[in-house]
Each structure stands twice: as structure tokens, then as C-alpha cells.
Structure 1
Amino acid sequence: MRKIILSFIGVLLIIASFFLAKSLIANKNKPKPILEKVTKTVFTDTVKNGEVQIRIPANGSLVAKRRVEIYSEVQGLFKMGNLLFKPGQKYGAGQSLIRIDASEHYASVQSSKSNLYNSISAIMPDLRLDFPEVYQKWQNYLNAFDLNKTTPKLPEMSSEKENYFITGRGIVSNYYNLKNLEQRLSKYVISAPFTGILTEALVTEGTLIRSGQKLGEFIDPTDYEMEVAISKTYANLLKVGEAVDLNNLNKTETYKGKISRVNGSIDQTTQTITAYIDVKHENLKEGIYLEANINGEIVKNAIEIDRNLLLEDQQVFVIKDGMLDTMPVTPVYFSETKVVLKDLPNGAIILKKPVPGAYVGMLVKPFQANQTSKP
């Protein structure tokens, strides 16, 4: 019985093997399915070489071009004035910023004036007898002498004898001591050197001011400059008087400036050169952060494209016979988003936007504006 079962199983295996072999032979002779080639639609651009203006980006904050730090050279009480000494207060040119009580020093000046007048008056009889030819000019000097006005300049000495006589009486030394006191008296009033605005006030009315103390800061709010650091690579492109486009961080406002100065040395630490850009505008304030685009050299026979279109081996994709190919190029200048290239022939069709997974030989077709998509 066992032999019959094994014989039956063997016959079944032979029959199954026959049908399996027949099926494999039939499938082998079937034609392979033809895969449909996919053509990708891409954005393209046609190369048209020309002149490309290189723009060097830089940034910095505005600082008033005319700035004065106010210090006191004398000591005294800060007197009340017509305008409060507060940040934001505007002053005209020559208007008093600070008045310091000078009553004690004023008395010393008046005393010295009186001494000088008395010294000259005392020598008038001797001048009339010994130097009659110069008597009148010294008399005229005394007649014009006013204790409430600035001391006038001494008359010119017309002879050596007159010079010895006047100097020997101590008149010349008294005169210069008096002028020194008058000069110091003028320091009790600090006036605005130009029309501007007070940006910092460190004292208030009634404060005892000390000699050498900083009192505040005063600026001209109509004229600013911006300090920018440029790579030494572009040092030869910086020219005094060159126009510069400026804009705020939001790109909502633009201003016009110009390069006023260029530092003559390169920073050894950062290997940059400092340039200063002048800018004037009623909307600007000190401390505003601006971006500048400095015009560099003009590159001829070049084209500017997006930086992400340049491959790592300094090649770009071009379209030839409906397929992607690569072409070597020479990068001239890199910015944050753009690159200037040379050695691309006119009329060459390049990609305008990067294609994910692009490779040499990929089938592509240019995007048409009126092209309709198939359902």
C-alpha cells in the first residue's frame, strides 16, 4: 500500500513539473513592456551677454557727521536759561546751551580792568612830557576804554623807547593777564556751534558743575554718515564721490548717499577696509541700521544668474536637443543670492529655476506661458 501511495505522489510531481516548465517557456517568449519616457517641463532663459554692474553689499548704523560732546572748562552753578537743557531740545547756531554762574570771576575781570586803566592813567603825565608824539593815541585809548565792554587792543608801539617805557610800567603784562581772564570768562557760557538738537543731557539746572565734567551731546540731525567694512578684495573699487544706494532692513525705504572718505589702511584682524558714506534725509535718525549697495566694477560680456543654478564643479545646466547637458563657466563675482558668469555663449538656453533631481540626459521642455495642463 505504501509503494502505491509513493508511486502516485511521484506521478503528480512529474505532471506538475511539466506544466511549470511549459509556463516558464511561454512567459520567456512574451515581449517586455515599453516604459513611457517622461519629459519634465522647466523654466528656461536665453543667454544674452552684456555689461553687469557689480554691487558690493555692506551695512552699518548712522552716526551724526557733526557731533559735539559738551564739557565744562570752569566750575559753577548751572543757571536757568530760556530753553530747558533736555534731550530732544533744538538750538540754533550761537544760541546758549548752558550758562554757568560767573559772578565771582566777573568781579575779578572788572578788578583787572580797573587796574589796567589806572596803570595807563598814571603814566599819561610822563607821556605828555617825554613822549608828546604818542600822547594822543594813548589818550584816545583811555577815552575808548569801557569797563562794561571787552578790553580793546593796546596801541601799537611806534619806537623802541616807547616800548621800553610802557613795558617797564607793567602795562603790557597787565593787559595780557586781563585778556586771559576775559577769555576764561567766555567759557562760562557754552553756545551751540551749529543748528542742531541735544541728544544727551547729564546735568540739570541748579547742578554744581565741575571743571572737566561732561554735560551732554549735541548733533546736527540733517547730516549723517555710515561706516561700513568692505573686504580688501574690493578695496580698489571704492572711489570717493561714488553714488551709493541705501535701504532699510524692510526694503520699504530707499535713500541716496555717496562715499565721502576711504580709510588708507586695512584692518589686520578682519582684513577689511573702512569706507564712510554720507547721507541726508529728513526721515533719518541717528542709530538707524541701513544696508548699502556700493557700485563696483562693470563686467563686460557676462550674465548674472541665481547662485543656486551654479553647480559645484563650476558648471551650469543647458538644454540641447530637448535634454539637459552641462557647460563649464567662469564665475566672476558672488553675492548672497546672485553670481556673475562669463564664458556662456549668446543664445544658449539655460535653466531659470533649479530642477530637483536634474541630471545630464534628462528629457525637458521649456515652459510656455499659454501652455495648458492636460487632465
Structure 2
Amino acid sequence: MRKIILAGIGLLLILGALYGAKLLVDSKNKPKPVKEKVIKTVITDTVINSNIKIVVPANGNLVAKQRLEIYAEVQGIFKAGNKLFKPGQEYKRGEALIRMDASEHYASVQSAKSNLYNSIASIMPDLRLDFPDVFEKWQNYLSGFDISKTTPKLPEMTSDKENYFITGRGIVTSYYNVKNLEQRLTKYTITAPFSGILTEALVTEGSLIRSGQKLGEFINPSIYEMEVAISKTYSSLLRVGEPVALNNLENTESYIGKVSRINGSVDATTQTVTAYIEVKHANLKEGMYLEANLDAKEEQDAYEMDRNLLQDGNQVFVVNNNVLELINVTPVYFSDSKVVIKGIPNNTVVLKKSVPGAYSGMRVKSANN
């Protein structure tokens, strides 16, 4: 009896082991749970082709359009004036910038004038006897001769005899010597050719000024020019007088200028053309660095998008039935952040922001829906 019970227990254990093994095998054959695909949400835009203005960026420093480097043509002591010769000092047109002591040269001018007067006076008796018809005009010239004023022009000589007589007495030579000295006398005073401001002063009152010495710089602060280099590709599209948008580096201030001049030659090294932009504004100063945006041309039936959306230089992603597809396009202009392209049909849905890991055939969902 005992043997029968033990045999039954052993059989039950064997059957239990077999059933457990079967359950274990069946559990391994269960299908793995399928992960649900994540569909990315993208920002899209609908293409409407239009006329896109090609804006060429450029930059440069402002330089006063009217500027004067002041140099001395004579030597003398710098005399003090009504205004100090210092940077920042303003002067009106015709106002004296620098006066030099010209007393020695002035005495030479007066001496030369006196010699001219005496030379003419000495020939008056001969003119009365030999040239009575011209005596009166020379007499009037002497009567109007004022040694303290600018020497008047000599009377016009109407005959060869008169010309030979006057020239032979050295009067014409004396006259031009006097005019030369008078002209040099004016160089002892340097006047402002336009209203402006002194930006550099290299001499002070009382110092000795030498001929050829640079004395300072004077500018007109009301109008400036900016020199910019433009690619020769767009140089033929620029026109003198076209408006130009300008702004500072911080983009806190903007100005409107215009193209004033365009150089006719191309720089052989950089293959660029120099254009000059004229701008007026009370806040501008010489030397300021500005950025310019020049309207070069207008591209017909084009679309502008972020440059990082362009794939392999000539493809972009479009969304077709919530699936990304690549289409070929034709880029026509690149800027730092944008690209102008042609070849996208109207009403095509394209990506507006780049999608990391995007590929053709990828399922997406538009955030615009």
C-alpha cells in the first residue's frame, strides 16, 4: 500500500513538472507589445510666390562729405583770435580759423606798392607829351591808387606803342610782383570755407607755424558719406539716388541715406565695386560704424525662407498628406540667414522651422491645423 501511495505522489510530481514546463514555454512565445509611433508636430507655411526684393547688406564707417585738412603755406606766429583753436570748436563760413603775424610781409607789400606808384608817377610827364590820348586814364589810375587797399588792375593798353612804353619801364613787372605779394599776404589768414567744426588741432596760439605744417582738420558735421564694397554681380543694378536703409550695430537707431556715387571700376583683388552712400542726421558722428541694406533688384515669382531649411543646396522639405517629401528648387540669392528660391508651386505646404532628424517619408503633424 505504501508503495502505491509513493508511486502516485511521484507521478503527480512528474505531471506537475511537465505542466509547469509547458506554461514556461508558452509564456516565451507571447508576442512583444508594439510601441506606438510618435508623430512629430512641425511648423509649416503655405507658399505664395511673390516679387521678392533682393537686399544686399554692406557696412562701413561714416566720413564727413566736406572735410578740410588745414596746412600752412607761409611761416609765422599763431596769433590769438576770438575763439580758441581747439577740437570741437565751431566756426561759421568765412570766419578766421587761424591768423598768423604778417607784419613783416605786410611791410614788404607796402614797399612794393610804393615802388609801383612811383614808377607810374615818373612816366606821367612822358605820357603827357608822347601819348596825350592815354594820359588821362593813367592819371585817373594814379588818383584812385590807395596804398592801404588792394592794388587795382592796370589800365587796359590800347596800342602796341603804349604797351611797349609801359612794359619797357618795368611797370607791368612791378604790378605783378605786387599782386604776388598781396596774394601771399592772404595766406597768413586761413578762413573756414564752410560752416563746420574743428575735429583736430595740432597747434596752439603763440606757437611758430612753419610752411607746409599740418595745423588740424575741419569738417562739416551736417552731411556724411559711407563707403561700401558691393559684389560686381549687383553693381550694375545699383542706381545713383536710390534710397538706402541704415542702422547701427545695436539696431537701436535707423537712418535713410541715398546712393550718391558709384565707382566705375572693379577692384581687381576683391572683385567688388565701391559705392558711396550719403546720409544726414543730427545724431551721426564721423567714424560711426553703420550697416546698410541696398535694394539691388526684384526677383519675380520667388519665395523667401530660412537658409537652414535648404537641403543639399537645392532641395526643401514639403508636407504632402502629413508626410515629408523632398523637392528640387532653384536658389537665386543667399543672405546671412535667408535664401530666395524659385520653383515651388503656389499653395505648397513647406516647413517653416527645421526638424531635427527629418527624412523623406517621415510622418508629421502640422501645428497650424
Q: TM-score range by the shorter chain?
A: over 0.9
The Cα offsets for residues 142-199 of structure 1, whole Å up to 9 and x where unpaired, read as: 0100011000000000111111111111100000011000000010000000001000
Q: 1:21 to 1:231 in 2, by over 3 A?
A: farther
The Cα offsets for residues 192-212 of structure 1, whole Å up to 9 and x where unpaired, read as: 000010000000000000000
Q: Find out whether 1:335 has 2:344 as its counterpart.
A: no
For 1:20 and 1:222, locate their aligned partners in 2 and report how far apart those are by CA, in whole Å.
99
For 2:79 and 2:140, locate their aligned partners in 1 and report how far apart those are by CA, in whole Å.
38
Q: Which residue of 1 aligns with 2:215?
A: 215
Instruction: Please tell me whether the aligned partners of residues 44 and 368 of structure 2 are also in contact (alpha carbons under 8 angstroms).
Output: no
Percent of residue pairs identical? 67
Q: CA deviation at 1:238?
A: 2.1
Structure 2: which amino acid aligns with 1:116?
L
Q: Which residue of 2 aligns with 1:296?
A: 296
Alignment of 1:48-63 (within 5 A): 48-63=48-63
Q: 1:361 to 1:199 in 2, by over 3 A?
A: same
Q: Which residue of 1 aligns with 2:141?
A: 141
What is the TM-score of this pair, normalised by structure 2?
Answer: 0.93
Alignment of 1:167-246 (within 5 A): 167-246=167-246
The Cα offsets for residues 40-95 of structure 1, whole Å up to 9 and x where unpaired, read as: 21111000001000000000010001111000000010001111100000111110
For 2:21 and 2:105, locate their aligned partners in 1 and report how far apart those are by CA, in whole Å.
126
The alignment's C-alpha RMSD in Å is 1.8
Structure 2: which amino acid aligns with 1:211?
S
Q: Which residue of 2 aligns with 1:350?
A: 350
Structure 2: which amino acid aligns with 1:224?
Y
What 5-or-longer segments of structure 1 have no aligned partner? 1-11, 370-375
Q: Which residue of 2 aligns with 1:6?
A: none
The runs of at least 4 consecutive aligned structure 1 residues that moved more than 6 Å come to 15-18
Q: CA deviation at 1:37?
A: 2.4
Q: Which residue of 1 aligns with 2:3?
A: none
Q: CA deviation at 1:313?
A: 4.5
The Cα offsets for residues 283-308 of structure 1, whole Å up to 9 and x where unpaired, read as: 10000100000001100110000111
Q: Which residue of 1 aligns with 2:8?
A: none
Q: CA deviation at 1:346?
A: 0.3
What SS does the corresponding residue of 1:104 show, helix, strand or coil? helix
For 2:239 and 2:21, locate their aligned partners in 1 and report how far apart those are by CA, in whole Å.
87
Q: Which residue of 2 aligns with 1:24?
A: 25
For 2:311 and 2:66, locate their aligned partners in 1 and report how far apart those are by CA, in whole Å.
49
Aligned residues between the structures = 357
Structure 2: which amino acid aligns with 1:97?
L
Q: 1:270 to 1:20 in 2, by over 3 A?
A: farther
Q: CA deviation at 1:19?
A: 5.3
Q: CA deviation at 1:234?
A: 1.9
Q: Which residue of 2 aligns with 1:72?
A: 72
Q: CA deviation at 1:251?
A: 0.8
The Cα offsets for residues 237-286 of structure 1, whole Å up to 9 and x where unpaired, read as: 22221211000111111111111111122222222211111111111000
What 5-or-longer segments of structure 2 have no aligned partner? 1-12
Deviates more, 1:317-326 or 1:32-41: 32-41
What SS does the corresponding residue of 1:114 show, helix, strand or coil? helix
The Cα offsets for residues 86-115 of structure 1, whole Å up to 9 and x where unpaired, read as: 000011111000000000000000000000
Deviates more, 1:227-236 or 1:302-311: 227-236
What SS does the corresponding residue of 1:266 show, helix, strand or coil? coil
Q: Which residue of 1 aligns with 2:319?
A: 319
For 2:340 and 2:21, locate their aligned partners in 1 and report how far apart those are by CA, in whole Å.
66
Q: Find out whether 1:82 has 2:82 as its counterpart.
A: yes
What is the TM-score of this pair, normalised by structure 1?
Answer: 0.91
Q: CA deviation at 1:21?
A: 6.5
Structure 2: which amino acid aligns with 1:326?
L
